[in-house]
Amino acid sequence: MTRILKYVQGTDNDGLVRQHAKDVIEGIESWQMNSLMPAGYSGGGAIEDLSLSGIENLAGLNVTPVRGNANASRPRIEEVE
């Protein structure tokens, strides 16, 4: 549906239709992002808020960022021929 709306937004001759298609696309994209955020996310909007309360816990993802000790050994990726 989004693909069709983007096509209409780019090709229709009526400015009102293009604007409405743009608004609907933005609404769909916002709904998609809101459906990924966990329940109770405040959505402060600041970059710092993303790592503290939302992005790390996106629905369906298990993200465990590396924290703390810079001296800890990290796995190495080696090319094997």
| Span 18-64, pLDDT tens digits | 999 999 999 999 888 888 776 655 555 544 455 545 555 566 666 66
Q: How many Å apart are CA 51 and CA 39, to the nearest integer?
A: 16
Give the model's pLDDT for residue 20: 94
What amino acid is encoded at 17 in this protein?
Answer: V
Is 36 domain-assigned?
yes
CB 59 within 8 A of CB 36: yes
**Rg of the chain over all Cα atoms, to the nearest angstrom:** 20
Domain count, the chain: 1
Tell me if 79 is assigned to some domain: no
CB 20 within 8 A of CB 9: no
Distance CA 18, CA 9 (A): 4
> Could you tell me if residue 73 is inside a domain?
no
Is 47 part of any domain?
A: yes
Residue 70 resides in a domain: no
pLDDT at 75: 74
pTM beyond 0.85, yes or no = no
- Domain residue limits at 7: 2-57
Q: Is residue 78 part of a domain?
A: no
